[in-house]
Amino acid sequence: MKHSKTLTTALCSALAAFCAASAAATETKGPVTDDIGVLVIPKGAPIQIGAYWVVSGADSALGIDEKRGVEIATKDQGGTLVGHPIKLSVEDDGCNAEGGQTAATKLAANPNTAIVLGPACSSAATSGAPILWKAGITDIATATTAPKLTAPDRKPEYDGFMRTVYSDIDQGASDAKYVHDVLKAQKIVTIHDGSPYAQQLATVMDDNFKKLGGTVLSQEAVAPTDVDMHPVLTRIATEKPDVIYAPVFVAAGAQLLRQEKETPSLEKVPLIGSSGQMAPDLIEAAGDAVVGYRITYPDVSPEAMGSGYPKFVDAYKAEYGEAPISGFHANAYDGADLAFKAIEKVAKTDASGSTYIGRKALRDAVLTIKFDGVSGPIACDEHGQCAKFKPAVYEFTNGDPKTFKIGVNPKKIWP
């Protein structure tokens, strides 16, 4: 989302406050000395794991699915870590910059927050991650894919940010290849909603499509809350594209999908969506217009995931009475597992039963840990990128939301 002047001022104020409060100098507590601060957990007290996801509104399936993945990881951990019960504290970020700022500020204000998981949306991470790191808190995101968040030239305030999900640098390249090589498109129009996720993915796709010899006729923008898409679609119709690529979220995606079919000259032009629309709510909002709709997405078929994925899905179904409701549950499980492994690596407990965790040591440990996760291999580079992209395209086959099941509706059609 584009930051308003008010949001920018508030964010700067929040960052300044936490910068002053954060540990800027070496600190020693008990057996631990750390460059930016030491968290002390008294005997019997919980290890407090913070989290922020979108858990309400049109995109709530995205965050709820990830929250469930973390809950299963916590259960598999036995509910305890280095002798302390695990307490998960979740904030709703609304999948936007304002919500990310508010959620991160609440989590950072708790001096007992050991580490934070999430968010799901890049807009929330863009505003939230710097607030957390100014408080010395490491943030492991579970579905945020905007390339700039883990780019080599990212700003120092993102040094505490990592993610157990791919970068759209890779998805954008894959999407361009699918549209150009498989759909045989030569001319496209892209649409984004102003969010870091959609805008950066559309830009990467555009750049790669041009490299393949294709033409990008225009780059259009809508707002996530827009209801009337006819003006932008009518304008696009005059350009006569072969494909429209719109990596937006559920609400805007459903409106585009419904109204494109009503727009003269666009009735048969393929509209291609992306990861932010993998949810039963899209079917609910689009109705029968969703049938035949394709979205680019990471391959989450069992054969593409880690060896522990089938067992994890069984646990998910047993716990929640349904199959996964979105596609990043495994990334969230692995984010929690990474956090647990890092805490186990650096935590030290004294004779009284109190546990000490160096905050910079914890961040550094996250960057060094490697393991085979349920989503696939997890290994972070120096910029916090810990997972790779496995490309796929899914197609919706039924307009009944009750039929939503990844792999069935929508079904994988490529590769």
Task: Say what the pLDDT of residue 198 is.
Answer: 94
Handedness of CA 57, 61, 62, 67 (dihedral sign): positive
Strand ranges across the sheet with 215-221: 215-221, 187-192, 243-245, 271-273, 294-298, 391-395, 411-414
Query: Do residues 117 and 339 make contact, with C-beta atoms less than 8 angstroms apart?
Result: yes
Task: Say what the pLDDT of residue 185 is.
Answer: 98
Q: Per-residue confidence of the chain (415 residues) as pLDDT tens digits?
A: 333 344 444 444 444 444 444 445 799 999 999 999 999 999 999 999 999 999 999 999 999 999 999 999 999 999 999 999 999 999 999 999 999 999 999 999 999 999 999 999 999 999 999 999 999 999 999 999 999 999 999 999 999 999 999 999 999 999 999 999 999 999 999 999 999 999 999 999 999 999 999 999 999 999 999 999 999 999 999 999 999 999 999 999 999 999 999 999 999 999 999 999 999 999 999 999 999 999 999 999 988 999 999 999 999 999 999 999 999 999 999 999 999 999 999 999 999 999 999 999 999 999 999 999 999 999 999 999 999 999 999 999 999 999 999 999 999 999 9
Query: Do residues 121 and 95 make contact, with C-beta atoms less than 8 angstroms apart?
Result: yes
Count how many Cα atoms sit within 13 Å of the Cα of residue 276 in the half-sphere of its side chain: 33
Helices (H), 265-328: 280-286, 309-320
Task: Say what the pLDDT of residue 24 is.
Answer: 52
Domains of the chain with bracketed CATH:
33-166+308-390 (3.40.50.2300), 169-300+392-414 (3.40.50.2300)
Which helix (H) or strand (E) element contains residue 250?
helix 250-260
Cis amide leading into 111 (omega within 30): no
Task: Say what the pLDDT of residue 25 is.
Answer: 77
Residues 116 and 161: their CA atoms lie apart, in Å, by 10
Note the pTM of the prediction, 2 decimals.
0.88
CA angle 401, 407, 411 (to 5 degrees): 80
191-226 burial, b if ≥16 CB within 10 A, otherwise e? bbbebbbbbbbbbbbbebbeeeebebbeebbbebeb
Task: Say what the pLDDT of residue 302 is.
Answer: 87
Question: How crowded is residue 87: how many other Cβ atoms within 10 Å of its Cβ?
Answer: 15
Residues 94 and 60: their CA atoms lie apart, in Å, by 8
